[in-house]
Amino acid sequence: MAMRVVALAGNPNVGKTTIFNALTGLHQHVGNWPGVTVEKKEGVFEYRGERFLVVDLPGTYSLTAHSIDELVARNFLLNGNPDVVVNVVDATSVLRNLYLTMEIFEMGLKNIIIALNKVDLAEKKGIRIDPAKMSKALGVPVVPLSAKEGIGIEKLKEKIWEMAHGRIKTNPVLPRYDPEVEREIEHISKCLERTELASRYPLRWLAIKLLQRDDEVMKLVLRHLGEEKLKEIMTHIGEAEERYGRAMDLIIAGQKYEFIDGLTHEFMSYGKTGETLTDQLDKILVHPVYGFLVMAFVFYLVFKFVFTFGMPAQEILSDAFSKFGDWLAPHIANETLRGLLVDGVVSGVGSVLSFFPLVFLLFLALSFLEDSGYMARVAVLMEGIMRKFGLPGKAVIPLILGLGCNVPAVMATRTLDEERDRLVTMFVNPFIPCSARLSVISFLTGTFFGSNRALVAVSVYIIAIAVALLSAKLVSFFVKGEESPFVIELPEYLIPDGKSLLIHSWERSKEFVQKAGTVILVGSILIWYLSNYPVPMGTGRSYAERLGHFFQPYMRLMGLDWKAAVSLLFGIIAKENVISTYGVLYGSVNAIRSAMTPLQAYVLAVVTTLYIPCIATIAAIRAESNWKWALAVTLYMITVASLLGILIWHVGTALGL
């Protein structure tokens, strides 16, 4: 028997991920939706001997096709045939959350359960909600939850099971608009009657989306009814907008909120409440002066945490791989195979894998800041600065995502409304040091700077972020268009759930391990081959040495040698290859330490951070724009990295560093 499918829908920051983790535990995986690179999370839970597949849809505020996230969520609800739709609603922000609920209702879906989350926080804020009255007003079951505390999860499972087995009858309430708007909806509905679209989609929903000039629905009408019919409908809508003096999209949204407001009076009331802890903290954390001081300290603590706990674990793993190589070598008689496995695979892949603790701890720290609500405050703090450098306020989110991986960060620019904003943000995003570059930075700072490694690493990040902002200002002069307004929700501060943090951090960091087992493995083997053929190192020039010596005059400008050139070239495949290349070429950390000065290590850290993005990031930029833009980003980054590398080397040398 096929598993029943449960779709989890809701706004961002409503606790949807916490509910997903509470339902599925470790029985989940992350991939991409077919045809797009938006994250797709699925998990399984069992109830009464039956397995349910939970699909966590992207968090959206509405289901109008303005962004890829909205389109993915809407298409799954319309065409994915979920057996149950769980709409997560934040009890502290019911009015705004129910806008999405009404859009789901208008799609004609009946199998809906409202998961009313954060009821404990709502009570603290003086918000009283009667779940029974709310259920009656909305026409669907309402399950009160405090997902973070695990309260209500079993009840939710029970309701999902009952809904899937047809034991709950629903009658979702549909928003009613002013008579004039209702007449427009009825008129367009009649235009679509007796068509193929009428058999596939609710007529009322199609009519409302056409009134809102939804691009995807307009394409549907064009494809099924032809250009003449679409033009006739859109001309009628244009005439209606002239009569009203406003866009129908704004009119419908406003009246929908009025309808929701009327509904909430049936089940909500507000008591007196004093200043909350969130209000008190925000006086400091979003303060134009204190907020930045706290932010700088917080991110210093992040790196201090990562290095303090990650470096000992890294050293243990590095030592373990080294000992494994020493143990393995005598057991392999064939000299070529021994060199390949010990010097290539174990040294190369092992040197990268040893940095997994640092990557995992970075994701753990970022997940903690995100789930606690602090990242939203960082976005608010940075918004004013972003504007001054030609970036939209919303660009903060893709840039923060870049700390994990630049590929999804580039994809996240889709959420920006204006094309100009998307292009500028996409252009500078690769300057943000991702977790792969963290492994290189931590390797070099840990090897050469000892107890000062956290401060040195932070300085590399500061340089990278400064370059990104200055580049945005420069590029914004050449890319014309309007800037979009900055709108972001500030969620309540929460102590993140430990289990959710670990699951989330593992899901985000396991790609590092997978990459080590695929791309880095192939890269390490290739590096070993090029380093040992056509002649062994020391008796002549190998392919790698020839390649490195070709670029050596250029590298000397930055105080680096041919081995740095080879490592940077292989780093284009994946930044972790910079470490694995050094592991193969030198064989040990001590050999690397004796071959380079701290200044050279710092130059290499900065250049690695700023030069060509990895192939996957270049491909993502091309997919989101075009080859010309991807090429422009690549050439610009090479130029900036080279100039800064030369500058740091010569200034450092002049200062006697």
Do 106 and 185 reside in the same domain of the chain?
no
Average pLDDT, the chain: 84
Distances (CA, A) of 484 to 103, 383, 391, 418: 24, 12, 10, 6
What type of residue is 593? R
Of the ranges 51-55, 119-123, 236-240, the best mean pLDDT one: 51-55
Mean pLDDT of 238-245: 84
Confidence of residue 598 (pLDDT cuts 50, 70, 90): very high
Confidence of residue 403 (pLDDT cuts 50, 70, 90): confident
Beta partners for residue 54, in sequence order? 6, 43
* Pairwise CA distance, residues 85 & 160, whole Å: 9
Do 124 and 158 reside in the same domain of the chain?
yes
Do 332 and 475 reside in the same domain of the chain?
yes
Tell me the CATH number at 9.
3.40.50.300
Which three-class secondary structure state does DSSP give residue 116?
strand
Among 210, 237, 269, the domain-final residue is 269
Report pLDDT for 253.
87
Token pair 């193929």 in the structure block, residue: 196
pLDDT over threshold 70, residue 37: no
Could you check whether the bond before residue 534 is cis, i.e. omega within 30 degrees of 0? yes
Do 160 and 193 reside in the same domain of the chain?
no
Among 234, 269, 304, the domain-final residue is 269
Report pLDDT for 484.
57
pLDDT over threshold 80, residue 153: yes
Beta partners for residue 10, in sequence order? 88
Mean pLDDT of 173-181: 91
pLDDT over threshold 60, residue 536: no
Residue 170 in domain: no
Q: How far is CA 227 from the centre of its chain?
A: 38
Residue 637 in domain: yes
Tell me the CATH number at 258.
1.10.287.1770
Do 444 and 375 reside in the same domain of the chain?
yes
Read off the tokens for 351: 């040197």
Confidence of residue 409 (pLDDT cuts 50, 70, 90): confident
Mean pLDDT check: name the lowest of 271-280, 399-408, 544-553: 271-280
Do 61 and 124 reside in the same domain of the chain?
yes
Read off the tokens for 323: 């000992």
Do 134 and 199 reside in the same domain of the chain?
no
Residue 446 in domain: yes
Read off the tokens for 460: 């590399």
Do 85 and 155 reside in the same domain of the chain?
yes
Report pLDDT for 474.
92
Mean pLDDT of 99-104: 94
Instruction: Please state the length of the chain.
Output: 657
Question: Please, what sign has the CA dihedral across residues 388, 394, 400, 406?
Answer: negative
Do 199 and 321 reside in the same domain of the chain?
no
Mean pLDDT check: name the lowest of 79-88, 415-424, 434-443, 486-495: 486-495
Confidence of residue 129 (pLDDT cuts 50, 70, 90): very high
pLDDT > 70: percent of the chain? 91
Confidence of residue 339 (pLDDT cuts 50, 70, 90): confident
Report pLDDT for 1.
59
Please name which of 87, 56, 84 lies closest in space to residue 72, comparing C-alpha atoms: 56
Mean pLDDT of 27-54: 77
Backbone angles phi, psi at 85, to 5 degrees: -115, 115
Structural domain including 145 reads 4-164
pLDDT over threshold 80, residue 512: no
pLDDT over threshold 70, residue 485: no
Do 323 and 196 reside in the same domain of the chain?
no
Residue 279 in domain: no
Among 107, 140, 164, the domain-final residue is 164
Mean pLDDT check: name the lowest of 112-126, 159-173, 240-254: 240-254
Looking at residue 346, what DSSP letter applies? I
Please name which of 328, 321, 316, 315 lies closest in space to residue 348, comparing C-alpha atoms: 321
Residue 277 in domain: no
Do 448 and 584 reside in the same domain of the chain?
yes
Confidence of residue 48 (pLDDT cuts 50, 70, 90): very high
Say if strands 28-32 and 142-144 run parallel, antiparallel, or are unpaired.
unpaired
Mean pLDDT of 117-127: 87
Say if strands 4-10 and 39-47 run parallel, antiparallel, or are unpaired.
unpaired
Residue 213 in domain: yes
pLDDT over threshold 60, residue 32: no
Q: What is the pTM of this model?
A: 0.63
* Pairwise CA distance, residues 470 & 482, whole Å: 19
Do 308 and 420 reside in the same domain of the chain?
yes
Confidence of residue 52 (pLDDT cuts 50, 70, 90): very high
Which three-class secondary structure state does DSSP give residue 39?
strand
C-alpha angle 302-303-305 in degrees, rounded to nearest 5:
65
Read off the tokens for 439: 């492994």
* Pairwise CA distance, residues 503 & 286, whole Å: 29
- How many CB atoms lie under 10 A from the CB of residue 378? 22
Domain count, the chain: 3
Please name which of 31, 12, 140, 21 lies closest in space to residue 70, comparing C-alpha atoms: 12
